[in-house]
Structure 1
């Protein structure tokens, strides 16, 4: 029988990251409870597009986490019900000219050294993959590892699977206090419904991650990042995968189709991160960039626009693992707009940390206490 008590950890947050932490912790035999003041995926996860991407990531710790998560998502697709809508669509990054193509080739070569499947595509083959692309583009790189899920359903199914392993799922129950013992160690959390005692608390609260850290007497400089999305009228399936331009520094558009035929147009993730607040000028600029890749979009009607937010840390890496300032406190937040894709790897790393096992990745780049200095403008800065 799966064990339910005593609890080994309380996970704060029922988004996809918290759900993945609960799943991998429960699967490893730990007793956990998940608490959230709202329903499943009521925060960033619920507004996400469900991208599972390696194509947009520089070689380094985040890409390593993305590659681990890509493998885990593929395994989860065989375990979770089909309602998660896992689909390995692939991604196509397009270069408008030879200069952009040279930069894209160099970027893809570095990614391949890190383990990414990045395949250069000649112009003739490019139009086989996406027939409605603009003419006279210089070339592209295809990323077959890029995939997608329904984020809300994925979070719900991970929690359902975690419950099978004995996890308690307590929705509508806000963590109001992190309980500490006389020695400063975590003892659990307090909610309006009572105390949940456990020797570990996992902060998977997304944009509220800084607030939850403060409940335990720690600091984590989580700030909201913003982006916006255009949704078109339904069309025949004319875009086959996620497509965006190689000019990421300049803010290329990212285009993909939904199962219903609507086209989603968002800003491709720039290396500088983030996106400007929603404005008429920004929407016009974004739609123009999309039409430069797919000219037919110039005549398509936009029926909805919305803005999303996600949790960011100053160096744009998440905080994952134990917080040495508060024994028993672990963090799993600050994933920017990539939390859905990075959730399984994060969950696996947290489960290993809870069990005192060697993690699948080096946790040092993600250490929660790395923001020890304050720069001249009063903003947290990473320690070297």
Structure 2
């Protein structure tokens, strides 16, 4: 007879979100088991940059959620045993046009009113930031609380501490079947044995809809492809994260004054220096299903966009390029929620490009939901059933 292993709480997904849930839940004394179909951090969490940002979040709930996650990450630098290349230099957005400067001034005002540490930057500020900027940039804005981490290392560090606190982790264990039994428990069939559990948390990122389907739960997450270029930092181009103001428009679907190719691929400048003295160049946004092949037309477009803001980096060496798939939802908020139709089934997915940014607050909130505590942030905007309430015209 097949051996069945019973666990209290099973988390499906071994990326940054699963890691944060495992850490905060095991720290609270919960019996947590993580099931991952590949290796830890082998999906989106290893194919991204490592930013903990508030600068690109809408003022209000969105930026407050990010600020809370930043505070938790800062605390983790003291709590976790394995360092994860945490730096807290702030970040900036730069503007090309008078219209963008006007919008940036409004953005800063709204963020200050929401209690965040923002300020506007003029031409002189940009010159002081780096001599590599193009001369015609008008200014921008700064968020002083923004931080950066190594996403791989943060994921491993969270899992390492979670295991020491009693969490159990099964890699190379793909969920093939999930069902709710008559006794209220879940039966989880995998490529590495059968589990039962009292509660299941779906933290499978872009694969979350497939897990949801197994228990007849439709999860509206779509993979959104993004490219990253890794370049060799022969000179100190910049010491912290730099994005163009147009990144906000590309992220939220606004109109931009750019050429058709840039618009088509959703390309906007993102520059991020790493602890290893290289730098990352992004970004692009495409709906291409689950395709992760590098598209060289997109890479060329990204390189052109980067050189527009940093003309002197044109001759710097590209080390490699890669793609990742962001778990996108139509309102750009993750789903961090129970599911009424399937009691004790939770979803923690759909963070788009903010999985690293929002991992800590997601893990904390799931732990608070499981232990019936008051949540650190309001969870109403993150409810699973919010999508059902919309009427499609």
TM-score, normalization by structure 1 = 0.89
- Helix, strand or coil for the counterpart of 2:195? strand
Q: Which moved more, 1:88-97 or 1:319-328?
A: 88-97
Alpha-carbon offset, residue 220 of structure 1: 0.5
Stretch of structure 1 that moved more, 28-37 or 214-223: 214-223
Query: Does 2:338 correspond to 1:322?
Result: yes
| Contact in 1 for aligned 2:104/2:120 (Cα 8 Å) | no
- Quickly say closer, same or farther: Cα 1:288–1:192, change in 2 above 3 A: closer
Aligned to 1:153, what secondary structure does the other structure show? helix
2:260 aligned partner: none
Q: Which runs of 5+ in 1 are unaligned?
A: 269-273, 374-380
CA distance in 2, matches of 1:331, 1:42: 20
Identify the residue that residue 226 of structure 2 maps to in structure 1. Answer: 227
- Aligned-partner Cα distance in 2 for 1:115–1:49: 26
Distance 1:260 1:362 in 2: 37
The match for 2:376 is 360
Moved more, 328-337 or 284-293: 284-293
Displacement after TM superposition at 1:149 (Å): 1.0
Residue number in structure 1 paired with 2:355: 339
- 1:31 aligns to what? 31
The alpha-carbon deviation at position 147 of structure 1 amounts to 1.1
Q: Return closer, same or farther for 1:110/1:382 CA change in 2, 3 Å cut-off.
A: farther
1:376 — aligned with what? none
Root mean square deviation of aligned Cα: 2.3
Retained in 1: the 8 A contact 2:77–2:83?
Answer: no
Distance of 1:82 and 1:32 partners within structure 2: 20
For the residues of structure 2 that align with 1:113 and 1:345, how far apart are their CA atoms?
Answer: 22
Partner SS state of residue 66, structure 1: helix
Q: Distance in 2 between matches of 1:356 and 1:163?
A: 23
Work out the CA distance in 1 between the residues paired with 2:178 and 2:295.
39
Match of residue 69 from structure 1: 69
In structure 2, what is the equivalent of residue 348 of structure 1?
Answer: 364
Tell me, in whole angstroms, the C-alpha distance in 2 between the residues paired with 1:237 and 1:186.
56
User: Aligned to 1:77, what secondary structure does the other structure show?
Assistant: helix
- What is residue 323 of structure 2 aligned with on the other side? 307
Instruction: Give the total of aligned pairs.
Output: 367
1:378 alignment counterpart: none
Whether 2:313 is the aligned partner of 1:297: answer yes
Q: Which SS does the other structure have where 1:92 is aligned?
A: strand
* Cα distance in structure 2, aligned partners of 1:189 and 1:276: 31
1:141 is matched with 141
After superposition, residues 1-384 of structure 1 pair within 5 angstroms as 7-182=7-182, 185-248=184-247, 249=249, 250=256, 251-267=267-283, 274-275=285-286, 279-372=295-388
2:178 match: secondary structure: strand
Give 1:133 deviation, angstroms.
1.4
Q: C-alpha distance in 2, partners of 1:110/1:264?
A: 29
> Quick one: distance in 2 between partners of 1:321 and 1:70?
21
Quick check: 1:227–1:276 contact (8 Å CA) kept in 2? no
**Partners of 2:166 and 2:174 in 1: how far apart?**
21
CA distance in 2, matches of 1:43, 1:323: 25
Q: Aligned equivalents of 2:179 and 2:348: distance in 1?
A: 19
Q: Is the 8 A contact 1:314 1:382 kept in 2?
A: no
Gapped regions of structure 2 (runs ≥ 5): 250-255, 257-266, 289-293
1:60 Cα deviation (Å)?
4.1
Confirm or deny: 8 A CA contact 1:321 1:349 kept in the other structure: no
Is the deviation greater in 126-135 or in 147-156?
A: 126-135
How many Å separate the matches in 2 of 1:292 and 1:105? Answer: 23
